[in-house]
Chains A and B, each alone.
Chain A
């Protein structure tokens, strides 16, 4: 299995809602990433997990809360988001944290905050 899956595909939420994005992989990869991509822009790194431990937090606001319950799953919990948080949220994985490793991307969750 060489796929990274993300659910849901689309999500519309209000500013007072709490929701979660889910990412799953069964490739045995030990590094997992969350990226945010605005329209017509490159992906921007948000968080990196290595061996289920949070390794990098790119100064992301606390309304975004990542979680890695096991080596196959990565969640992004959302609370009190702003309209400017509307974007495509991409999950990626790689073998480990090495700089030469290819990252495998999921299809993304298109988030709209009203």
Chain B
């Protein structure tokens, strides 16, 4: 089974500063990677996804991520964060079980704390 590792449990950053949230995945032939955001007391919302093609993926709210096969990484970046970006961010990988059904495995999450 595939897995993802989020290297930072918490990332504090000042407002308007850039941020990078790190994610590494276990190597596989086909990789489908996602970043989700969870605001307090809410469900998860998709920020962006990598299925194939261009390694630079642009998402919502000004976020982007770069798929790096040689480093097995899929780091999330934003050039200038806002207070409203304070949330939990989950990196996830999609895989198929023996029955051919999608199973999504989430990383442990990174809490982004934007400081005014």
- Separation of A92 and B102 alpha carbons in the complex (Å): 12
B95 touches A99 (CB 8 A): yes
- Separation of A4 and B45 alpha carbons in the complex (Å): 11
For chain A residues 29-57, which have a beta carbon within 8 Å of chain B?
Answer: 31, 40-43, 45, 48, 50, 55-56
For chain A residues 3-47, which have a beta carbon within 8 Å of chain B?
Answer: 4, 6, 31, 40-43, 45
For chain B residues 92-106, which have a beta carbon within 8 Å of chain A?
Answer: 94-97, 99-104, 106
Known contacts A43-B44, A106-B43; is-contact A100 B51 (Cβ 8 Å): yes
Q: Which residues from chain B contact A108 at a C-beta distance below 8 Å?
A: 41-43
For residue B2, which residue of chain A has the nearest CB? Answer: A99
Q: Which residues from chain B contact A41 at a C-beta distance below 8 Å?
A: 108-109
- Separation of A102 and B103 alpha carbons in the complex (Å): 11
Q: Which residues from chain B contact A102 at a C-beta distance below 8 Å?
A: 34, 46, 49
For residue A50, which residue of chain B has the nearest CB? Answer: B101
For residue B30, which residue of chain A has the nearest CB? Answer: A99
Counting contact residues on chain A (CB < 8 A from B), the size range is 20 to 34
- Separation of A4 and B108 alpha carbons in the complex (Å): 24
B102 touches A101 (CB 8 A): yes
Number of B positions contacting A (CB below 8 A): 27
- Separation of A105 and B37 alpha carbons in the complex (Å): 11
Q: What is the CB-to-nearest-CB distance from B15 to chain A, in angstroms, rounded to a whole number?
A: 24
Q: What is the CB-to-nearest-CB distance from A65 to chain B, in angstroms, rounded to a whole number?
A: 20
For chain A residues 44-102, which have a beta carbon within 8 Å of chain B?
Answer: 45, 48, 50, 55-56, 90, 92, 94, 97-102
For residue B6, which residue of chain A has the nearest CB? Answer: A42
Q: Which residues from chain A contact B32 at a C-beta distance below 8 Å?
A: 99-100
For residue B51, which residue of chain A has the nearest CB? Answer: A100
Interface residues of A (CB under 8 A from B): 4, 6, 31, 40-43, 45, 48, 50, 55-56, 90, 92, 94, 97-108, 110
| Given contact pairs A40-B109, A50-B101, A102-B46, a sample of 18 additional A-B residue pairs in the complex whose CB atoms are under 8 Å apart | A4-B43, A42-B106, A45-B103, A56-B97, A90-B43, A90-B44, A97-B100, A99-B32, A99-B96, A99-B102, A100-B32, A100-B51, A101-B94, A101-B102, A103-B104, A104-B46, A106-B43, A107-B42
